[in-house]
Chains A and B, each alone.
Chain A
Amino acid sequence: MAERSVSLAIMGSGGAGALTAGSLLLEAACAAGWQGLLARTVGPQIRGGEAAALLRLGTQSIECLPDQFDLVIGIDWLNAQRFGNEIQAGPQTLVIGDPRGGEMPPAIAAAGARRFEIPFKNMAKTIPDGRGNMIALGVAARLLGLKLELLSAVIEKRLSDKGQAALAASQACLSAGFDAAAGLDFDLRLPSPKREPTRRWLVSGNEAAALGAIRGGVRFAAAYPITPATEILEWLAPSLVKMGGVLLQAEDELAAINMIIGASFGGTPALTATSGPGLSLMMEALGLATAAEIPIVVIDVMRAGPSTGIPTKSEQADLNIAVYGVHGDAPHLVLAPQSISDCLFTTQWATYLAETLQSPAIVLSDQFIGQARAAIERPADIAFIGQRLKATEISSTYRRYARAANGISAMAIPGTRGGQYTADGLTHTERGTPTSGEADHGAQLDKRREKLEQFNFGDHWAVCEGAGDLAVLTWGSLTGTVREAIGEAAQDGLEASLLAPRLLSPVQPQQFAAALNGKKRVLIVEQSHGSQFYRYLRAYYDLPGEVHILNRPGPLPIRVSEVHRAMTQWS
């Protein structure tokens, strides 16, 4: 971000409406032409926990959170200490709280920030059905220099279904907050947007992934609810019906993945979405889809693990299970989107690859990009629409798993006369007949490996940009953070390149070596305690020169300044 951005955190106890205020503010700013990102961080409780909307607004594309927030608004401070160091303030931060809103969390109180008090609760009481979050929204809008009418229009659009009384109360609170901040100048006003408002989208990574799946041809989904993946399934449920498809709610994740295998066996591109615990349950069936060569797509919106972990917070620690979790030798596709917008592309590409290569594809998204929302340009339509090689003209010598030069054999779809075969997890012959023989076992293992190894994945396999003898390697949602750190370092005269593989399996050794050719130092950045990405790179690739690792588990995000520091402190 060469241009200045303004960031703010609106927090409150669960149910106080911090997330609503944040999303209304984001929508108003983006509708007026700014760029924006809204991440959410919440506790595990549905009501009575802690919730914060983390916003960053500016004039250029925004893909990560700031190191410190310029403005922190506590509708109340109840339970806010549970955020620990997630929400960082500094001496330049303006903290606005309600004097009757409880005790300010220590991490923020210790920052030496500028403070201002607004009695959200008491002000809300003077307005029938008034709520503190709408007052906070008015305050934030005024401080950022957003026009009242912008907010008012968004409230009208989003809250009209709550009834006239609630709508009027919200508008009154908004105005009251806007007035309360009159005359305050804390230098938080946004620079004017450089662009005219154009046709853009306001979308979360989860929604983008779901749309990408449909663009790629998915017409069946099976669903078992799990945080933070559920929004994918909830968006797909009505959307698939409109597209002539259907979503089934399964009794568990074991059923969900087997349902999509069944649908795909019947010829319908199919998907499920889950998070770590669900992915663990799906492993056996992922092996089945690999062995029987059934295309399926599984989106894993990663959260902190192991076990139940921290369901609402992000981590990049499912890399190992995604790549290595299936028993036996089971090559399959693993991909990772790098931004909200890329959730669409990568999921569509994953669907295309799964169909083309008759293989399961795991898409490793995470809670941060999955549940964050941003204004993006409408992603262009791309040609990646699933084209499965189907057996249509069946001869008497048809063999479902025949060896071919590219490893891909024609799949007979039920209903096709003469193509009958039994798909099987047992080791099988080219016809699909179960066997225990070494020759068939080896031949089919070769076939399944070759079809992935021989395929030309093109330039999409990774994002590879910049120059210099320092390469920063990362993956998934950290790509935006690293890109910004490299941009900052460039301003200090340090040139570095970014390499972020979008395709994690199968590995691309030649392209990787070319991308790192001539590098003398490599910095690896990842959000896992066990440095899983580093170990994965070590297993498959040669890392040139001196290697440093910046890794940390969730829920604390890895910040731009940390990456920047790691790039410069090279001893």
Chain B
Amino acid sequence: MSSVDAGLACKPADYKSDIKPIWCPGCGDYHVLMSFTRAFAELGLPPEEIVVVSGIGCSSRIPAYTNCYGFHGVHGRSLALAAGLKVTRPELTVVVASGDGDGYSIGGNHFLHACRRNIDMTYVVMDNRVYGMTKGQPSPTTEPDFDTALSPGGTGLRPFHPLVIALASGANFIARCFSGEPNETASILVEAIQHPGFSFVEILSPCVTFRPDEKEWKNLVHPAPVAATSDPGKAARRIMTDDGFNIGVLYRGDRKPYAPAIGSASVELTELEKDFEL
């Protein structure tokens, strides 16, 4: 860890706030925070030119734990808020943090349209397949037989596949990471931030409290066996058929990001009034 940090002009610590996280001991999100600060340091971005935007949930607490500008908004709407920010301030680096409940359930519609809109931002979803902050209810990525108080005997519903949805909706960069590998995750975040357009990074981040079984993930993850493709058809087949633990960049697209021109007025305000003159 220190060997990676030593060569950087900016230190990961420069991007960390003094606020103590509320996460449970052992939560995967600590490592995600580490990956964030490391990626920012590697990019050498001034912290005031980064904005971390989030919704509601354990993972959405991450903005205040960085030393960047942050927005901890309402449940599920972080992508919309980030879109308004990025199109009006294109020079800022915008990273959106979410979880599987915030991002795929209440925020599902915004996920589709953010991929489709392809604004240059990075969307990180820390997926632990459970609602942690409300104590253990099933999310859209939870297995059908996961028994909870809210879904006795399990939901019986098939979990959906965020990476395929992202691909079908037009995301321009798709990767999967594991929180327990913060160096690899940081590298992928660097690439995601640098890649033009909407980059989607799923980070498998265990919930040790409500999903202790997820501690096993460290034994299940493995590097993706083949290099990333820019062919959406190939990417779809691979993502649909992999075991869910392929780690690495899975798709790099070349769609042009949506970036409307912003700047100074081309006309005087009184020019607009001519629409109304009799």
Contact = CB atoms under 8 A, between A and B. Distances in A.
| A and B co-occur in one complex | yes
Interface in A241-300: 241-246, 248, 250-252, 254-256, 258-268, 270, 284-285, 287-288, 292
A421 interface: yes
B72 A258 contact: no
B126 to A, nearest CB: 17
B273 A414 contact: no
Contacts of A261: 73, 81, 84
A528 to B, nearest CB: 29
Contacts of A262: 53, 71, 80-86, 88
B269 A207 contact: no
B262 A414 contact: no
SS class of chain A's interface: helix, strand, loop or mixed? mixed
B88 A422 contact: no
A244 B262 contact: yes
Given A254-B80, A266-B89, A422-B71, A242 B266 contact: yes
B260 A201 contact: no
Given A31-B278, A201-B277, A415-B92, A214 B69 contact: no
A255 B88 contact: no
A83 interface: no
B273 A211 contact: yes
Nearest to A263: B84
A348 to B, nearest CB: 11
Contacts of A285: 73-74, 77
B110 A244 contact: no
Nearest to B48: A417
Contacts of A197: 278
A298 to B, nearest CB: 14
Given A243-B269, A244-B263, A421-B69, A270 B84 contact: yes
A242 B88 contact: no
Contacts of A200: 277-278
Interface stretch (B60-68, B186-194, B246-254): B60-68
A417 B81 CA distance: 22
Given A207-B276, A242-B265, A252 B88 contact: no
Interface string B99-118: 00000000001101100000
Interface string A376-405: 001000000000000000000000000000
A197 B265 CA distance: 32
A252 B113 CA distance: 10
B272 interface: yes
Interface in B138-181: none
Contacts of A264: 84
A417 B46 contact: yes
B271 to A, nearest CB: 7
Interface string A207-238: 10001001100011010000000000001000
Given A254-B80, A422-B64, A246 B260 contact: yes
Contacts of B275: 207, 235
Given A248-B87, A261-B84, A419-B48, A242 B272 contact: yes
B69 to A, nearest CB: 4
Nearest to B267: A242
A131 to B, nearest CB: 25
A420 B68 contact: yes
**Which of B80, B84, B262: most chain A Cβ within 10 A?**
B84
Nearest to A235: B275
A432 B46 CA distance: 21
Interface stretch (A15-23, A423-431, A447-455, A481-489): A423-431
Contacts of B273: 201, 211, 378
Nearest to A204: B276
A423 B71 contact: yes
A98 B82 CA distance: 57
Interface string A117-141: 0000000000000000000000000
A426 B72 contact: yes
A266 B83 CA distance: 11
A255 B72 contact: no
B77 A424 contact: no
Given A259-B80, A262-B71, A262-B82, A244 B89 contact: no
B48 A425 contact: no
Contact of A258 (B80, B109, B112): B80
A494 interface: no
A288 B63 CA distance: 16
B231 interface: no
B49 to A, nearest CB: 6
B1 interface: no
A435 to B, nearest CB: 11
Contacts of B113: 250-251, 255
Contacts of A426: 72
A27 interface: yes
B243 interface: no
B61 to A, nearest CB: 8
A369 to B, nearest CB: 15
A258 B64 contact: no
Most chain B CB atoms below 10 A, which of A215, A245, A419, A432 = A245
A259 B81 contact: yes
B264 interface: yes
Contact of A243 (B79, B91, B265): B265
A23 to B, nearest CB: 13
A422 B49 CA distance: 13
Given A201-B278, A265-B85, A284-B74, A420 B48 contact: yes
Contacts of B82: 262
A385 B81 CA distance: 24
Given A258-B73, A266-B92, A421-B69, A375 B278 contact: yes
A-B interface, 8 closest residue pairs, ranked by CB to CB distance from nearest: A422-B70, A262-B84, A259-B84, A255-B80, A262-B85, A262-B81, A258-B80, A201-B276
Given A244-B264, A375-B278, A414-B51, 7 more contacts: A203-B276, A241-B261, A251-B112, A261-B73, A261-B84, A262-B80, A416-B48
9 contacts: A220-B87, A248-B83, A262-B81, A266-B92, A285-B74, A415-B92, A423-B73, A426-B72, A432-B64
Interface of B: 19, 46-49, 51-53, 63-64, 67-74, 76-89, 91-92, 109-110, 112-113, 260-267, 269, 271-273, 275-278
